[in-house]
Structure 1
């Protein structure tokens, strides 16, 4: 007794079009046809279909499924172990994405509620990349310093942010002037500006010991999104991120810099 393509599709929970495609690519061809040319599947065909659907559920591509089923010497266990490893990696990736999405929701729900016009009025060209802020949330969510910084930022009023950004703009103008004047990164003028930045972070967000400040500076070089929080793209110069990073490292090495905290919180 044979089964029609419609019956097999209903039994297996697939479409007739899928069965036609499997037949076309040689993955599952019906064992017989009626005089009118209609496909008929037997019990062996259904068993093979179960195997195909099993491997498809695991994400195997059709050509690999065909190789496994057609080669009697194929080691299915090796294919399955390799796929298990891929699935484990994918599960870990999706878990990270889920966590990032969760943190993104938190990021969007925190901070000062401003209209786009108000946000530009307060922050100007300085951009806050949501993906960077979200990654920071995920990376430092167990850090007491990061939690303090987020809590303080969340509590600031629009006027607080205006004052913060005014201070940052004055400091940024001085850094750009020093860079354009060719001042050395480890010169006293630029190191003093680096120290001013460290004190700015401590004053507005959280205690920023030199060790923490160095790690923040390293992010300026490694991630353009981090540097954009300090210098908007329209004001950036080639080499400026590395210049500021070098100044912060030089300042952190000065013996007279206060070394409050361990610097390990961030």
Structure 2
């Protein structure tokens, strides 16, 4: 007759131990392989059996793992009677606090990105008027989103807007205003489209506009068409100087030709 001790009788299978600990059987096999939490018993057929003490160790492993300790740190805490558990946990809390700070900063960044995708310019109405001038409509970026919100360029604009400071908006607004003034002066002085001066202004426009999203020469040709054909844009440019909308479109087209682009077939790409 084979006698079974109480300890053996109360031992549980690997599946039961996994359920009690709230982990997978695969995890228990791994912990056994690395010597972190091994079963004290095996049957004659070689099946693992976990005693009550083994299950208690599993519970401690799970508790420390959920607290963020790595498996090596857990082994040191459980196996070294002289281990400074308090010091280990304090160190882990410091790491956790650092990670929480990183996550909070990430959350703030995601919040700004979300708002930028929805609103475009992350400035209040009064601040927009102060930076962009009294002729600026604070609803303009919402109108732009309604028109182009599904485009890659809107996404690029929003991503840049999310990190742009009021000071950077002021600098960009000043650059745009200076460019428009110089365009108006060019028309007043009868600068010829396609001339070096006109081409330099077209290139300057592309560089300044690329602060919003990368603007290719073909895309610039499409903008030039819109500046002349769209009543709102045409009124804006002709308000700077009569005839500017048409002059600017011709200048963009001539510059494009100089770079091997046919303005008649240029598309938004």
TM, length-normalised to structure 2 = 0.48
Rg larger for: 2
Q: Which has the bigger relative contact order, CA under 8 A and spacing at least 6?
A: 1
TM, length-normalised to structure 1 = 0.49
